[in-house]
């Protein structure tokens, strides 16, 4: 018998092995599609649950900030009760207005970024490499 010749039983075994590999690949592809669908559903559900929490959190942070400013102003006014009240300087009023406007703009932008990131579907690290090939 020559070393390069394949017998019929060896050929049958090779054919069965190739079929097993094809079946395994098909099963893996189905499994990956199912995992992808499951992760997308989970992400969608988490986003739906987090959006109200983010809104409530933003409202609470704003309320705490307002309360902190109110407490600080009331303490300051109590400490200066023996002095005559002064009119706030125009520069101070403008600086406060600009600061509050910038803070409001930054908060709005941050909230938009958080919502945009939550709305984007997350891609698995392997999916990016597979898409590049």
Q: What is the pLDDT of residue 44?
A: 87
Would you state the pLDDT for residue 47? Answer: 82
Mean residue pLDDT across the chain = 81
Domain membership flag for residue 21 = yes
Whether 45 maps to a domain, the answer reads yes
Q: How many angstroms separate the Cα of 24 from the Cα of each of 18, 31, 82, 112?
A: 10, 10, 86, 44
Residue 28 belongs to a domain: yes
Q: What is the pLDDT of residue 20?
A: 94
Which residue is listed with tokens 């499951």? 38
Give pTM, 2 decimals: 0.36
Confirm whether 44 is domain-assigned: yes
Asked whether residue 133 is domain-assigned, the answer is no
Residue 19 lies in a domain: yes
pLDDT for 1: 45
- How high is the mean pLDDT in each 10-residue block of the chain (133 residues)? 69 91 94 91 85 84 85 72 70 87 90 86 58 53
Please tell me the total count of domains within the chain.
1
State how far the Cα of 114 lies from the Cα of 55, in Å rounded to an integer: 11
- Is position 121 within any domain? no
Residue 42 within a domain: yes
Residue 47 structural domain = 9-52
Cα dihedral 127, 128, 129, 133, rounded to 10, equals 100
């Amino acid at each position: 018998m020559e070393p390069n010749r394949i017998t019929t039983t060896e050929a049958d075994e090779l054919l069965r092995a190739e079929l097993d590999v094809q079946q395994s690949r098909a099963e893996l592809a189905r499994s990956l599609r199912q995992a992808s669908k499951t992760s997308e559903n989970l992400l969608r559900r988490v986003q739906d649950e987090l959006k109200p929490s983010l809104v409530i959190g933003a409202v609470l942070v704003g309320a705490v900030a307002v309360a902190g400013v109110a407490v600080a102003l009331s303490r300051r006014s109590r400490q200066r009760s023996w002095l005559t009240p002064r009119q706030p300087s125009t520069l101070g009023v403008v600086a406060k207005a600009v600061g509050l406007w910038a803070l409001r703009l930054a908060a709005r932008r941050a909230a938009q970024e958080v919502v945009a990131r939550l709305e984007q579907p997350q891609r698995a690290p392997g999916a990016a490499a597979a898409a590049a090939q």
